Amino acid sequence: MTRYALFAVLGIMALAAPFHVYPILLMTILCFVVFAASFNLLLGYAGLLCFGHAMFFGTAAYIAGWLLKNTAITIELAFVVSALAMAVLGYLVGVISARRGGIQFAMITFAIAQFIYFLLLRAPFTGGEDGMQNIPRSALFGFIDVSRSFTLYYLILALTVLAIAAVYRIVHSPFGEVLRAIRDNEARVDSLGFNPVQFKILAITLSAGLAGLAGAMKASVFQIATLHDVSWHVSGTIIFMTLLGGLGTLAGPVVGAALVVVLHDYLAHFGEWALIIQGCVFLAVIMFMRQGIVGAAKALYRRVFVRA
Amino acid sequence: MFDHITIQLLMGQLLIGLINGSFYAMLALGLAIIFGLMHVVNFAHGALYMLGAFVALILLNTFGVPYWGALVIAPLVVGAFGIAMERLILKPIQELDHLYSLLATFAAVLIIEGLMRLQFGASGLPYRSPMPGGVNLGFMFLPWYRGWVLVFSLIVCVAVWYLIEKTKLGAYLRAANERSEIVESFGINVPLMKSLTYGLGVALAALGGVLAAPIYQVSPSMGSNLMIVIFAVVVIGGMGSIIGAILTGYLIGIVEGLTKVFYPEGSHLAIFVIMILALILRPQGLFSAAEKSR
């Protein structure tokens, strides 16, 4: 019962938020919530550390941007096409890299992401170092105007809720059960007749699609797509967000993304110190608080309430 | 279509490829030692290479220590820094999933690079070449310093391979990381061996940094740019294979140089195309069959 009350409070807060807070900041948080949730699906549940997740995020931003700029496509279709394209890319990445597990998967995805980075740097439609600018916010379904940030916020919010619900469904399905089993004991899953590589490839495909949705949303929010979105800095940031929030928890990515986006916003004036502080917090989380904020809060809740 | 290719262009790019390959080989070697022995993917390898170059620069500009002094001092200083890192950051998490040591060294990169940018700015700083001039070989001009880098790095690679694979200390290092309980029962100080392993790998990175200082500009981001290639090299060569890391390093350098001659637009991409092909055709790594499998 408390859970539903919590959801209701959160829902009202989310609906009322743009009246009090700058909508662009809120939408940035939501884009990164979806992005972090997609990353968490891979690392938190399947145990796969994708060190190049920005390739899906950044490439989707370019695809959505190109579609919105050069075709008469409606905004929701641009999102769907970008997400599907990234699912295809994710499938290819999975086919190449899923056979090599654990730590090698991280290095391979890191290198593939860099490959994509160089490709996009060279590609004629990305605008090179300048990025793709003035991406329009085309009407939703062709007739609902979302060009104002205030209205766009509600579309982004709805998509975020859908994305989180999708992750919840995936994680709590038999498929999600197998993923967790692979994370905990791959050899045993193999011996039970499941093919771990195929499950991993599907997990990467799904995660890449979600990351693509996040990137496409981001392109419509900021109305630009840049190479920075594909860079390893963003891949690192998304790992930081997910770990800080809490790996393998549904609320973790939400908390982590919100905290880090707000942190970046505050530290923007400090220039170089922002990265240094982020590195220190990152290191502290890895050394001392690997369960993340949500994980720590859950443990505390259990200690205080369940035992009493 | 290849009318523009002269012997000078070909040899010149081949030389650049070999020079780059020397650095790839030295860095991949250190990374392979640290991974093969400790199972740590040292993301900070590039940052420590950058520190090596900066130590050489500071030694020259502030203390007047010439290049040849820096060649000895910088690896020792950065190696000591690496050992401190191993004790403070890696040792407490060595029992956990190896992903955490990768992430911890990644966080260290953010801190190290950030601090260096704060201190020295983002742009590249020049380091005077200790061996100006060169020799005309008839078909190409070979600067003395580049010749020195080629020869010296090859000697270093062979020496380190010999140290790890053929000497008693190398056997201790490998055994201490492979079967630590048994080795410990023989009275060998295992934590010391692990620190030495990491220190050795890091010192190699720093040595590479000193060698690179007169060729490339010394800048805080010089390491992370190189790191990306090194990761690909290690993946192609087979993780933890020492000989594979060295050979693949040189191979990739040469291929990159040749791509610049025949298809300049693709020179950045060549390495990654090779990596993807290698992963599809030989998923276990090019050189891993000869090594013991893990």
Q: How many CB atoms lie within 10 A of CB A19?
A: 8
Res B2 pLDDT > 70: no
Residue B3's pLDDT band, with cuts at 50, 70 and 90, is low
Residue B283's pLDDT band, with cuts at 50, 70 and 90, is low
Mutation pick from A120, A276, A278, A290 vs chain B, by most beta carbons of B within 10 Å, is A276
Q: From the CA of A293, how many Å to the nearest CA of chain B?
A: 17
Does A290 contact B100 at a Cβ distance shorter than 8 Å? Answer: yes
Q: Residues of chain A whose pLDDT is less than 50?
A: none
- Position A175 scores a pLDDT of 85
CB A65 within 8 A of CB A219: yes
The pTM (predicted TM-score) of the whole model is: 0.87
Does A102 contact B115 at a Cβ distance shorter than 8 Å? Answer: no
**CA dihedral (A204, A205, A206, A212) positive or negative:** positive
Coil, helix or strand at residue B141: strand
Residue B96's pLDDT band, with cuts at 50, 70 and 90, is confident
Virtual torsion, Cα B145, B146, B151, B152, nearest 10 deg: 60
CB A27 within 8 A of CB A149: yes
Contacts of B100 in chain A (CB under 8 A): 286, 290
Of B39, B114, B283, the CB nearest to A275: B114
Contacts of A52 in chain B (CB under 8 A): none
Does B99 contact A102 at a Cβ distance shorter than 8 Å? Answer: yes
Does B279 contact A275 at a Cβ distance shorter than 8 Å? Answer: no
Chain A residue nearest residue B279, CA to CA: A96
Q: Mean pLDDT across chain B, nearest whole number?
A: 85
CB A25 within 8 A of CB A265: yes
Contacts with A45 (C-beta within 8 Å, 6 or more apart), sequence order: A171, A176, A179, A180, A183, A203, A248
CB A118 within 8 A of CB B269: yes
Does A106 contact B118 at a Cβ distance shorter than 8 Å? Answer: no
Taking only the tens place, the pLDDT of each residue in A55-66 is 999 999 999 999
Contacts of B232 in chain A (CB under 8 A): 111, 114
Among residues of chain B, what percentage have pLDDT more than 70?
95
Q: From the CA of A200, how many Å to the nearest CA of chain B?
A: 16
- Position B172 scores a pLDDT of 83
Cα B291 to Cα A101, A254, B38, B98, B167, distances in angstroms: 19, 45, 16, 21, 17
Chain A residue nearest residue B267, CA to CA: A118
| B9-31 mean pLDDT | 88
- Position B61 scores a pLDDT of 87
Residue B294's pLDDT band, with cuts at 50, 70 and 90, is very low
Among A235-239, A254-258, B23-27, B174-178, which is the least confidently predicted range? B174-178
Residue B291's pLDDT band, with cuts at 50, 70 and 90, is very low
Res B274 pLDDT > 90: no
> Which helix (DSSP H) or strand (DSSP E) does residue B109 occupy?
helix B98-120
**In angstroms, rounded to a whole number, what is the distance separating the alpha carbons of residues A149 and A220?**
10
Chain A residue nearest residue B278, CA to CA: A96
Residue A128 vs residue B71, higher pLDDT = B71
Does A236 contact B96 at a Cβ distance shorter than 8 Å? Answer: no
| B142-164 mean pLDDT | 89
Contacts of B39 in chain A (CB under 8 A): 103
Does B235 contact A239 at a Cβ distance shorter than 8 Å? Answer: no
Does A111 contact B98 at a Cβ distance shorter than 8 Å? Answer: no
Q: At what angle do helices A102-122 and A232-245 cross, to 10 degrees?
A: 140
Chain B residue nearest residue A51, CA to CA: B103
- Position B146 scores a pLDDT of 87
Residue A140: phi and psi, rounded to 5, are: -70, 130
**In angstroms, rounded to a whole number, what is the distance separating the alpha carbons of residues A128 and A121?**
5
